[in-house]
Amino acid sequence: MGMAEKRISVVCPWCSVGCRFYIVNVNGYPKKIEFDYDHDIRNHGKLCPKGVAAFQHLRHPDRLKKPLKRVGERGEGKFKEISWEEAIKEIAQKLSEIKEKYGSEALAFLGSERCSIEENYVLQKLARALGTNNIEYVCRMCQSTAVAGKGMVLGHPGLTNPFEDILKAKVIVLWGYNPAATNPVFFGQYIEKAILDNNATLIVVDPRKTKTAKYADIHLQPYPGTDLAIALAMLNVIITEELYDKDFVAERAEGLEELAKTVEKYTPEWAEKVSGVPAELIRKAAITFATAGTAALLTNEGVNQHANGTRTVMAITEMMVLCGYFGKEGVMSGAIPGAHNGMGAGLMGIGPHELPGRFPLHAEEHKRRIEEAWGFKIPEKPGITYVEMIDAILEGKLKALYVMGTNPAKALPNLKKAEEAFKNIEFLVVQDIFLTETAKYADIVLPAAAWFEKDGTAISFERRVQRSFKAADAPGEAKPDWEILVMLAKELGFGEYFNYSDADDILREINRIIPPLAGATPERLKKNLKGCMIPCPDENTEVPRLFVQGFLTPNGKAQLIPVEYKEPGEVPDEEYPFWLTNYRFVGHFHTGTMSHRSKSLSKRWPEEYIEINENDAKRLGIKDGDLVRVETRRAALVLRAKVTPHIREGVVAAPWHWDFNYLTTDVLDEYAKMPELKTAACRISKVEG
């Protein structure tokens, strides 16, 4: 009961399934969550532990409530409170000064998969108003290889089909992806039903036997980053045994001959030597996949986060093309972004080479159209990518970084180097809901409203645009990110370009600027909680399935570009004999900004541990629960050992929500500039005493 108790519908603030639920609010204060069994929504009312605990961090005592100015050393975390007026004034002054002195390219901005599309749109517009394309977000570190790889082959990186289609798939391949831990509701409501109720065959590719792999009929366990060898060998089998869909390929793809020639040498026997997976198992997987009739093939960071990530994505996508599994019911292909608006942020033009709508920077026609609408010029010179920004800071080229709702000081690879950069940058602004690891280095910290404390739109990995509504008041003086950006834009003298009084205003401008989103109007999304699947060119249209007619490449045909094998960036040797990889806990999220502050989650998943195969452990005299030292060329961590048969010999794995990235290398994928976050060479030893 209660006089002013209200139920407000929100989108989950964690992963990208797009689950909805209610926040029950009493006089502006969030009291609890309630499941939504009333509407036809994607999660059918269900939630995973993060969703259920989603309001715990909202009222955590650590929430930032006032703007802060650094008084101590960088990284020390000592600040004094200042007024909004002072904070905005100082930021505007400093950004202008730096621009004046070093040019616009000395400025850079980081957007956020945790903020709304409206907020990301405003941020990139502000960067461009200031004359720079140095604008990025973490997609560079989780999905960029998938975007590049699928872009080259198919012309579009999005998930191809609606969730329901997976229920009709005959074979499901989960490659470098453990949805039972990363997207439990998607797993339970769709994948598990397809397997247990509809007898779909499951093929899993993962060095670890995960909760997902428990359901697998075929489980391939390659060394981390050697997936490319498996994909090439599967292409080899599909082509040499003529298991592909000849009509489909003839009509809708080009390049088969070249591809066939290239993969000739990549036999399953060759792949066994490279990946450690038995040739027979690879052959069996290829045949099962190619002869199923309908297939869903979902990939994730296990594929993406490698120095050969783009190549692997291309090879895997080409398997789907060869078998004719596109544009039909009962199939699915895609990579799954981590956060609830991972896809939306990218579409807003948060990219150093991209315009809003994901048009390339050099797409003159679009550029002119957008410039006309905005009233100012978009800078010509492409910006630099996320990881490259760190080098640019260290080289003294980048002087100011503005970080909205993201935590690079924990998400970047080779963290020691990143910390050096944050210590040495001339000016750093962080706007977030907590004092993150990154915020501790900031000159000015701005308190942002959390996801439930504002209206905003997100795009789930199903390409579904959904509105989330303000369900609680922000604590203290915290403000929605877009409001902060508008204040700053006005102070910088750009007021006329940033004339928004609410999120609806911004969404309406997005409707006008980005044609595939023209039909996702505030009115439509408010009326229809299930949202709509992009592209939605007008208010009555949406596109549940991609590639029904043709692919989105210039000539409409899939490009079977030949891919050669390339090793991951760092492989074991005598000095560092183990392959190191990482994984996620179902109860934690990314760098832990929110989940480490959720009591119910941190209590159940309190600490990290490193998984070691039982045979390796025996050899090294390590017992379950021992402390072990894990060392790479960059750093060492001491972690508790979990001795298990569920990881393959020669590989060790730890969750990445803690300090894992001190260990990783910053070698980059050549196409997408994705850092190799998923593997490194390491040595391990028991910590004595």
Binding site for another protein (CB under 8 A): 32-33, 35, 37, 43, 45-49, 51-53, 180-181, 184-185, 187-189, 192, 196, 209, 211, 214, 586-587, 600-601, 604, 644, 646
- Cβ nearer to another protein, comparing 186 with 551: 186
**What's the token pair of residue 532?**
């709509």
Concatenate the DSSP letters of all residues of 101-161 into one string. Answer: HH-GGGEEEE--TTS-HHHHHHHHHHHHHTT---EE-THHHHTHHHHHHHHHHHS--S--S
SS3 548: coil
Q: Determine which helix (DSSP H) or strand (DSSP E) holds 575, and give its type and residue range.
A: none
* Angstrom distances, CA of residue 640 to CA of 499, 621, 628: 53, 14, 6
Interior CA angle at 152 toward 149 and 154, to 5°? 95
Task: Return the number of the residue (196 or 250) whose C-beta is nearest another protein.
Answer: 196
Q: How far is the CB of 655 from ligand SF4 (least distance, A)?
A: 16
For another protein, the closer CB: 56 or 317: 56
Q: Any idea which residue has 């369900």 for tokens?
A: 471
Least separation in angstroms between residue 340's CB and ligand SF4 is 6
* Number of neighbours of residue 258 by Cβ within 10 angstroms: 12
- Closer residue to another protein in complex, CB, 199/549: 199
Q: The tokens 């060492």 sit on which residue? A: 636
Binding site for ligand SF4 (CB under 6 A): 12, 14-15, 17, 19, 43, 47-48, 50-51, 183-185
- Return the one option of ligand SF4, another protein, none that residue 45 interacts with (CB less than 5 to 8 A, by type): another protein
Instruction: Between 338 and 535, name the residue whose CB sits nearer to another protein.
Output: 338
Q: Which is nearer to ligand SF4, 48 or 307 (CB)?
A: 48
Please report how close the Cβ of residue 183 comes to ligand SF4 at its closest, in angstroms.
5
DSSP 44: T
Q: How far apart are CA 402 and CA 258, in angstroms?
A: 46
**Close Cβ partners of 372 (under 8 Å, ≥ 6 residues apart):** none
- Minimum CB separation of residue 600 from ligand SF4 in Å reads 13
Considering the complex, what minimum distance in angstroms separates the CB of residue 50 from ligand SF4?
4
**CB-CB contact of 498 with 509 (8 Å):** no
When CB distances are held under 5 to 8 angstroms depending on the partner's kind, the choice from ligand SF4, another protein, none that residue 586 binds is another protein
Question: Residue 196 touches which of ligand SF4, another protein, none (CB < 5 to 8 A by kind)?
Answer: another protein
- Residue 14 interaction partner, one of another protein, ligand SF4, none, beta carbon < 5-8 Å per kind: ligand SF4
Residue 361 binding target from another protein, ligand SF4, none, CB below 5 to 8 Å by type: none
H/E run at residue 636: strand 636-644
DSSP-assigned states of every residue in 314-367: HHHHHHHHHTT-SSSTT-EEEE--SBTTHHHHHHTT-STTEETTTEETT-HHHH
Report the nearest approach of ligand SF4 to the CB of residue 536 (Å): 21
Please report how close the Cβ of residue 7 comes to ligand SF4 at its closest, in angstroms.
Answer: 17
Mapped onto helix, strand or coil, the DSSP state of residue 51 is helix
The smaller minimum CB distance to ligand SF4, of residues 184 and 268, is found at: 184
- Picked from another protein, ligand SF4, none, the partner binding residue 12 (CB below 5 to 8 A depending on kind) is ligand SF4
Taking the complex as a whole, how short is the minimal distance between the CB of residue 276 and ligand SF4, in angstroms? 32
CB nearer to another protein: give 56 or 436. Answer: 56
Choose between 17 and 442: whose C-beta lies nearer to ligand SF4.
Answer: 17
**Any idea which residue has 């409206």 for tokens?**
118
Cβ 329 to ligand SF4 shortest distance, Å: 24
CB atoms within 10 A of CB 638: 11
When CB distances are held under 5 to 8 angstroms depending on the partner's kind, the choice from ligand SF4, another protein, none that residue 15 binds is ligand SF4
| Count, residues in the chain | 689
Residue with tokens 């945790």: 114
Compute CA distances 374 → 6, 297, 365, 378, 416, whole Å: 39, 40, 14, 9, 40
Burial class (CB in 10 A: 0-12, 13-18, 19+), 621: exposed
Cβ distance to another protein smaller for residue 180 or 292 = 180
Least Å from the CB of residue 5 to another protein: 13
